[in-house]
Amino acid sequence: MRSKHPVIQTLHDNKSRVNHCLCVGIDPDITKLPEAFSHTLSGLNDFLEKVIKDTSGQVLAYKPNISFFEALGIDGLKSLELLRKHIPENIPMILDAKRGDIGNTATMQAKYLFDYFGADASTLHPYMGLDSLEPFFKYKDKLHFVLGLTSNPSASNFEKLKLENGEPLYKTVISQCAGWNKEYGNVGVVVGATQSELKEIRKIDQDIIFLIPGVGAQGGYYEDAFSQGKNQDDLVVINASRSILYQNPELSFCERISQTIS
- For the segment 55-67, what is each residue's pLDDT rounded down to a tens digit? 999 999 999 999 9
Give all strands (DSSP E) within 100-236, no chain letters. 121-124, 143-149, 187-191, 210-212
Residue 189 CA to residue 211 CA, distance in Å, equals 6
Which residues does the annotation mark as catalytic?
98
Number of H helices, E strands in the chain: 11, 8
Q: Which domains does the chain have, with CATH numbers?
A: 17-261 (3.20.20.70)
- Edge to edge, what strands does the sheet with 143-149 contain? 61-64, 22-26, 237-240, 210-212, 187-191, 143-149, 121-124, 94-99
Please state, rounded to an integer, the average pLDDT across all residues of the chain.
95
Q: What is the pLDDT of residue 147?
A: 98
- Contact between 64 and 76 (Cβ < 8 Å): no
Cα 210 from Cα 187, distance rounded (Å): 9
pLDDT band at 248 (very low <50, low <70, confident <90, very high): confident
Q: Is the dihedral of CA 201, 188, 121, 228 positive or negative?
A: positive
Cβ(223)–Cβ(251) below 8 Å: no
Mean pLDDT value of segment 68-79? 97
Question: Is residue 1's pLDDT more than 70?
Answer: no
Contact 79, 28 (CB under 8 A): yes
Short-list 185, 261, 212, 256, CA closest to 63: 212
At 122-180, the pLDDT tens digits run: 999 999 999 999 999 999 999 999 999 998 889 889 999 999 999 999 999 999 999 99
Q: How much is the pLDDT for 151? A: 86
CA–CA dist 136, 118 (Å, integer): 13
- What beta strand segments (E) does the chain contain? 22-26, 61-64, 94-99, 121-124, 143-149, 187-191, 210-212, 237-240
pTM given for the model: 0.96
Closest of 86, 24, 78 to residue 49, by C-alpha? 86
Residue 247 in this model has a pLDDT that exceeds 90 = no
